Every structure is written in C-alpha cells, then in structure tokens.
Amino acid sequence: MKTEVSVSVLSANPLEFGNEIKKIEKSGAEMIHYDVMDGIFVNNITFGIPLLKSMKGKTKCILDVHLMIQEPLKYVDDFADAGADIITFHIESGSDVAETIAAIRRKGVKAAVSIKPNTPAEAVYPYINDVDMVLVMTVEPGFGGQKFMDMSKKISAIRQYADVNRTTAAPLDIQVDGGIDNVTAALVKNAGANILVSGSYLFRAENMADAVRTLKEDNSTNAE
Ligand code: DX5
Ligand code: ZN
C-alpha cells in the first residue's frame, strides 16, 4: 500500500496557523491531523470546532480529526459540519463504539477507531468491517514530542486480521500516531501501517517536504 502522511498541527506555531497550513500543503503530505483534547479523556486541552471550521474549504489536504475526548458521540455532527473528512475516536472513550461509528457514517465522513498502547489489537476486531481506518497509538495520547513505543506486533495482527476478515472492497487503512520520524517510520510501515501521523519531526525539519518524502520512502524488508 502507498504510504500517506498526516501532519499533526499540534506542533504548528499557533500564531502562524494560516502559514503553517500552507507549508503542510506544499510539503506533499496528504492530510492535516487535527488533535482534539478535552482535558478529561487526556490531561491536555487543545483545539476545538471553530479553528477546524476556519480551514474548511481552504485547503486541499484531507482534514483528519483525532478526537481524544470522553464523549465523542456528542460532538460527531459538529466536527463533521466543521469540515472533518475523517473522524477518529477512541474505543476507550465513554461513547458506544457502534453508535459512534454509525453517527460518523450518517454524516458521510470516514470513520476510524483508535486504541491506546495498552489496548489489545482484539478490541478493534468487532468493527473491522465498519470502519475505514484503525489508528494505533504509538505513544500515550495527550502530548506531542513523546518517545515512540513499538506497537509492531499489534499493527501486524490488525493487518492480518483485516486481510482475512474484511469483506468490504476498500482495504483497511492503518494509521500510527506518536513519535514517528525517519527511523520509526520504517518499523511501522513494515508492520503494515500505511498512514503516518507526524508532528514534531516534521515541524522540526529544516525542509518539511524533504522530511515528508523521507517518511514515504520505500524501505520495506519484503520488497519484491
Ligand atoms: C498525541 C497526538 C499526536 C501528536 C504526535 O496525543 O495524538 O497526534 O501530535 O506528535 P509527535 O509526532 O510529535 O509524536
Ligand atoms: Zn493524534
């Protein structure tokens, strides 16, 4: 599968937000990763609905919304109306998983479930045919710039399970988020991930476009 990159604006300069969005667009990244935190599901508070709405229709990038909030179901319609193309929520949140997926789908938005490092692969299996994407967290959600945790086994297990059990035409997207850089990208791609979220590595880079290219480079161990 082709590797895609989703740039986390958690590491962007808030005072330069508009320019940062242009920089992401020019970098060749497919998506903008928008981390929403409510101070309850995680110990941090970030962006909400108005800032997302300000980007709606203003960028060619896919708006990839990652909800780290306790009651995602309550806000699905608001984030969809504000321009989300993909809505990811956590299986560990307080909302009913099946109901939340259905609510996202009703809005015509791509639906994804996410699991924290301590949640096993099996937690996503019941929803394998109902989601477009699974997000495997490679750090504890809450903050950018944390150290990568190797979730290769979990990613491979989900990829294998989807290969066997998914009956929908579109292949499952597997996204990873947390500590992704030039070194860790190869590990997660070889395990079966095809969408890489990256924040601090890309914003730290002297040239974001070069860094995006590096993340996409084919370094598979089983290339034919
Ligand atoms: C963490 C967020 C991530 C974060 C990744 O809870 O979900 O999207 O921005 O940042 P880096 O790439 O710096 O680990
Ligand atoms: Zn995220």
- Residue-level pLDDT, tens digit, the chain, 224 residues: 999 999 999 999 999 999 999 999 999 999 999 999 999 999 999 999 999 999 999 999 999 999 999 999 999 999 999 999 999 999 999 999 999 999 999 999 999 999 999 999 999 999 999 999 999 999 999 999 999 999 999 999 999 999 999 999 899 999 999 999 999 999 999 999 999 999 999 999 999 999 999 999 987 765 44
Q: How many domains does the chain have?
A: 1
Say if 224 falls within a structural domain: no
Distance 224 CA to ligand 2 centre (A): 32
Q: Is 90 in the pocket of ligand 1 (CB under 6 A)?
A: no
Query: Residues lining ligand 2 (ion), CB within 5 A?
Result: 35, 66, 177
What predicted TM-score, i.e. pTM, was given to this entire model?
Answer: 0.97
Phi-psi region of 15 (alpha: psi -120 to 50; beta: other; left: phi over 0): alpha
102 Cβ contact partners less than 8 Å away, ≥ 6 residues apart: none
CB 196 within 8 A of CB 211: no
- Residue-level pLDDT at 169: 87
Atom 7 of ligand 1: nearest residue by CA position:
141
Place of tokens 């909400």: 48
Domain harbouring 212, CATH code: 3.20.20.70
CB 216 within 8 A of CB 182: no
CB 62 within 8 A of CB 85: yes
Gap between the terminal Cα atoms of the chain: 13
Locate the ligand 1 atom nearest the alpha carbon of residue 202 and give its number: 12
Locate the ligand 1 atom nearest the alpha carbon of residue 33 and give its number: 8
Say if 221 falls within a structural domain: no
Locate the ligand 1 atom nearest the alpha carbon of residue 44 and give its number: 6
Q: Is 197 in the pocket of ligand 1 (CB under 6 A)?
A: yes
Say if 49 falls within a structural domain: yes
Rg for the chain (alpha carbons), in Å?
A: 16
Place of tokens 């996503």: 124
Angle between helices 97-106 and 72-81 (to 10 degrees): 10
Distance 177 CA to ligand 1 centre (A): 6
Specify burial of residue 2 (Cβ count, 10 A radius: 0-12, 13-18, 19+). Answer: exposed
Q: Is 199 in the pocket of ligand 1 (CB under 6 A)?
A: yes
Domain containing residue 73: 4-216
Distance 99 CA to ligand 1 centre (A): 26
- 158 vs 120: CA distance, rounded Å: 10
- 9 vs 19: CA distance, rounded Å: 12
Q: Is 177 in the pocket of ligand 1 (CB under 6 A)?
A: yes
Say if 223 falls within a structural domain: no
How far is residue 123 from each of residues 90, 114, 134, 157, measured CA to CA in Å? 11, 10, 11, 11
Distance 34 CA to ligand 2 centre (A): 7
Say if 73 falls within a structural domain: yes
